[in-house]
Amino acid sequence: MSDQSNQRCERWETDGLLALERGEALDPHFDTCPDCLAARSAGEAVVARLMQASAGWQPPGDWEARVFARIAREQPARRFAWWQVLFPVLAAAGLAIWLARPATPGAGTDVNAAPFGLSLSIVDAAQVVRGETPKPGDALSLRASVGGVAHVGLRVYRDDRTLVFACGHADACPRTADEVVTRVTMDAPGAYRTLLIGGAAAVPSPAGSLDTDMARAREAGLQVVLGEVVRVW
């Protein structure tokens, strides 16, 4: 098309193209006016050029492998499996030291003699313990040992900032003499952490963030147990 054609048949570019994109019937003028036919043909050539040129845009040959490599890097549970070994060992060692310590009644604020701890597992809708990365809709099955502890609070946070479950303040925790057992559905993706608080003093009301609530519990002289991170995606 010549330079002059830029000025030709503006009506095609204002009305004709829009009608074409809307799938409307074209004004018969566009089928008879030579300038409009030329403008229409140029428009079709633009589309052809676009398709022709972009057909050469191809991803790098190994892109699928790179995607899976990135996925593997971003899956913390599988990359850091050694934590699953190290954590129980350290926990067992800590428990042994704690049990072997001399009895010092009245020496501090944490004077509860009963074991105080938390275990958690992941269940899906069918209550089967999941061995894979949890998905939204799966649940945390929580079991806290709280024998002899007067006041108990249990909380679950998503990404350390959103409180998704709390008991022990406004709502009493579902408690037997020795245990609190409950189940919390993880509706959205994120990193879920469970906080168990207990002791002789009343459990402070939740402020909403994990850090703040842990600090408040410690200030109140309560014991604090933090569960492992469960990532949902």
d(CA 111, CA 201) in angstroms, rounded, equals: 11
Token pair, residue 132, equals 């894979």
Instruction: Specify the residue, 60 or 108, whose C-beta has the smaller distance to other proteins.
Output: 60
In whole angstroms, how close is the CB of 50 to other proteins at the nearest point? 5
The whole-angstrom separation of Cα 153 and Cα 59 is: 53
Distances (CA, A) of 128 to 95, 124, 139: 29, 6, 10
Under rule CB under 8 A, residue 98 binds other proteins: no
Residue of 28, 34, 53, 126 that binds other proteins (CB under 8 A): 53
Residue 51 or 97: which CB sits closer to other proteins?
Answer: 51
DSSP count for the chain of H helices, then E strands:
8, 8
Minimum separation from the CB atom of position 39 to other proteins (A):
8
Q: Which of 4, 32, 54, 176 binds other proteins (CB under 8 A)?
A: 54
Q: Closest approach of Cβ 58 to other proteins, in Å? A: 7
Name the minimum Å distance from CB 123 to other proteins.
15
Rounded Cα distance between 219 and 52, Å, is 69
DSSP codes joined into one string, 118-154: EEEEEE-TT-PBP-S---TT-EEEEEEE-TT-SEEEE
User: Which position among 29, 31, 74, 221 is part of the footprint of other proteins (CB under 8 A)?
Assistant: 74
Interface residues with other proteins (CB under 8 A) are 1, 3, 6, 13, 17-18, 20-22, 41-43, 45-47, 49-51, 53-55, 57-60, 63-64, 66-68, 70-71, 74, 132, 135-136, 189, 233
